[in-house]
Amino acid sequence: MKTRKVSDVQLDFLVSALSRGGMFMSTSEILAWMKEQNEAIVSNISQIPLSEMSKWDYRDDHICHESGKFFSIDGIRVNTNYRNTHEWDQPIINQPEIGFLGFIVKKFNGVMHFLLQAKIEPGNLNVVQLSPTLQATRSNYMRVHGGGISQLS
């Protein structure tokens, strides 16, 4: 296997970024598909009291899942000599887990093509967003949440 220099990889990205079209879907086709998905898919998300959340609770001074996995919401106090405000309190997401984040990439006719997944998650600006091919914390890929695998049409 040939060892590639960083400059070769950078050139591949530049050539791909300047390319006018891909072999499978153009950017305009992807944007049109995303618009269709966001108009067709219904996702109802409503805010509920913490006390009504299944398997999530406030204990030991933070919000956490009963499994002890995923993330917790912790309170922190910040002290700094940076800027005008030197101390404040705020919540922070604490997720001390390893995970995976990556794209499957293949070159076709000299142009890099990225495999993405369309997914729905609470908090997305649109209903469906494009994400890396692989995006999972250990809790997610071990399916601690008990959820299944879904597929968009």
pLDDT of 147 > 70? The answer is no
| Cβ contact 57:63 at 8 Å | yes
pLDDT of 41 > 70? The answer is yes
- Residue 1 vs residue 75, higher pLDDT: 75
Interatomic CA distance for residues 148 and 143, integer angstroms: 8
**Tokens linked to 64:** 């956490």
Q: Which residues in the chain belong to E strands, given as ranges?
A: 56-59, 62-65, 72-79, 87-94, 99-102, 104-108, 111-120, 128-132, 134-137
Chain segment 59-86, per-residue pLDDT in tens: 888 999 888 888 899 999 999 998 899 9
pLDDT of 153: 46
Interatomic CA distance for residues 58 and 66, integer angstroms: 10
On the 0-12 / 13-18 / 19+ scale of CB atoms within 10 A, 102 is exposed
pTM: 0.61
